[in-house]
Every structure is written in structure tokens, then in C-alpha cells.
Amino acid sequence: MIKSNIPWKVLLVVIIGLAAGIGSLYYAKDWVSKNQETVNVPVPAEKISANTIIQADDLTTKPYIKAAISNNVELNQQKIIGKAAVTDLYPGELVLKSKLKSNMQVLKPGEVFVTVKAESLEQILGGNICRNMIVDVIYTEEAEKPPVLLAENAIVVAVMDEKGKSMAEPVAVAQAAIQGITGREKAPQYVMLKIKRKESYEFTRPLNGGHILITQVGQIKPPKIEVKPEIKSKEKEAEKQQQSSKQQAEPQSGPVQQREPLAQQPKSTPKPEND
């Protein structure tokens, strides 16, 4: 019988070390598999301007590592659709819950949505109508009758095609001249507006004939980003430090001492010579 010269304590340490190593390896493998798990997250397919109602075709999905997504990211696409963004959202950007306005914020008390069918380009600014425009809606029936103002300072929340799908914004004027009058591949068919509730009753007029004309009167400006006072103070301190460092870097030269002008001595008059 062969006896081992290895002490039993050493064998015990080796066995414990192997067990710990195998356990650590299993834990690391399990951690990697869970943390490398990806999920499809709804993100903007194109730029979504602030205060714009988000529609289904404004969004697409993009895979993200599950562990890298914070709790503030909205993962449910249905909770994004129908809301408006507080700030501009860019393609592929994670949509934060804090950047979405609730439905109550989108529609203030006394406001409603109406959809207008565009029968001609002249009705909708030659087809160049865009979201976030502020417009007046005018109804004309006959040449003899004066036009009627249906809605004042209405907001364009969506521009859609014949299938009710949101359309991209028109291109630049120079490119629009090449592609056509609208700058889009096809002309818009429907325009969704946010108006006052009392104005919505006037939109039954077009059913009796006549047509609607939309004219632009303004544009919604993006919200200003307020800077906290503490951030401003830090910026001022940084500017002061930068100025002081510049002053230290410059060679310090003392005041230039000017030499005092020499005192002018009185001119000596020549003495007359004695004959």
C-alpha cells in the first residue's frame, strides 16, 4: 500500500480551493448570461420635436443590454404613443419617462383634437404644413359670403397620409423645388389639430359644403432649459479660476519708473570785455 506524504491539511485546502473556484466560475457564468441579456426597446425612428404627439410610426425598436437600462427608461411602446415629448428626441435615443408629458399635459382643460381632410394643397400651405405650427383655420362657403374663422391659434400635432400614417417633415426649399411643390414624396391627406373645445362645434360647417383653409400665424418654440443656481455658481467659480490662472501665467512686470526730467540750469550771460 502506497502512503501519501502530502499532509491532510494541504489536501483539505486544495479541495476547498477547487470547490470555491468551481462555484465562482458558475456564478460568473450565470452573472454574464443574465447581464448580457438584451431586450428590444422602443426608440425614435427619426427626430421627434418637442410638444409633438408621438405616433406609432414615429418609433422603432433597438436591442439594448438589459442590465444597462435604468428604471427611468420607458419600455412599453403603448405608454409612449399618444404622449408628447418635453424636449426633442433623436433617432435611437432611449425615451425617458421624465421626458414624456402625460395625456393631461398634452390636452389642457377645454382643448380637443380634430382632424381635417386636405382636398387640395392650397388648403394646407401648399403641402408644406408641419407639426408644431400655429395656424388659423378659415372656412369659406361661397364667394358672396365672407369667410368664417373656425379656430384661432390652433396647433398642428400631426400630418398624415391617406392611411393615417404620420409623414416626415418637408425638405429644404431648394430640394423641394426639385422633388415637387411640397418637398414630400406625396401630399398630406389629413391634418390633426389641437383646438379649443368651443371651436370644435364650428367644424360641422364643412359638411354643408365649402372648404377649409389653413394659414400659419406662428411656430411653437422649444422650451428653454433652466440652469440651476448651483450650476451657475460653479460656472462662475470656474471662470474666476481660469482668469486667475491666466494672470499667474503672464509675466508680472512692475510699474515703469519714469526718470524725472533734469532741472534746466539758467543760461550764463557772457561778461563784457574791458578795453
Q: Say if residue 196's pLDDT is above 70.
A: yes
Length of the chain as a residue count: 275
Task: Report CA 272 to chain centroid distance, whole Å.
Answer: 100
Q: For strands 133-140 and 111-117, give the pairing.
A: unpaired
The pLDDT tens digits of the residues spanning 111-145 come to 888 889 888 888 888 888 988 899 999 988 777 78
| Residue 232, C-alpha cell as written in the block | 451657475
Q: Please state the pTM of the whole predicted model.
A: 0.52
Cα–Cα distances in Å, from 233 out to 224, 228, 236, 238, 245?
Answer: 19, 9, 5, 9, 18
Options 3.40.309.10, 3.60.40.10, 3.40.50.720, 3.90.1210.10; CATH of 40-105: 3.90.1210.10
Q: What is the mean pLDDT of residues 209-215?
A: 85
Residue 207 in this model has a pLDDT that exceeds 80:
no
**pLDDT above 60 for 36:** yes
Residues 39 and 64: beta-carbon distance below 8 Å: yes
DSSP bridge partners of 94: none
| Between residues 240 and 53, the one the model is more confident about | 53
Share of residues in the chain with pLDDT > 70 (%)? 63
Estimate to the nearest angstrom the gap between the alpha carbon of 211 and the chain centroid: 36
So what's the pLDDT on residue 152?
93
pLDDT at 186 over 70: yes
Of the listed ranges 7-16, 115-124, 144-153, the least confidently predicted one is: 7-16
Indicate the domain borders of the chain.
40-105, 110-219
Q: Tell me the C-alpha distance between 54 and 133, whole Å.
A: 16
Report the Cα 135 to chain-centroid distance in Å.
23
The CA distances from residue 38 to 28, 33, 130, 227, 256, in Å, are 18, 10, 36, 35, 71
Mean pLDDT of all residues in 27-34 = 65
| 120 compared with 50, residue with greater pLDDT | 120
Note the pLDDT tens digit of each residue in 76-118: 998 898 888 888 899 999 999 988 876 655 777 888 888 898 8
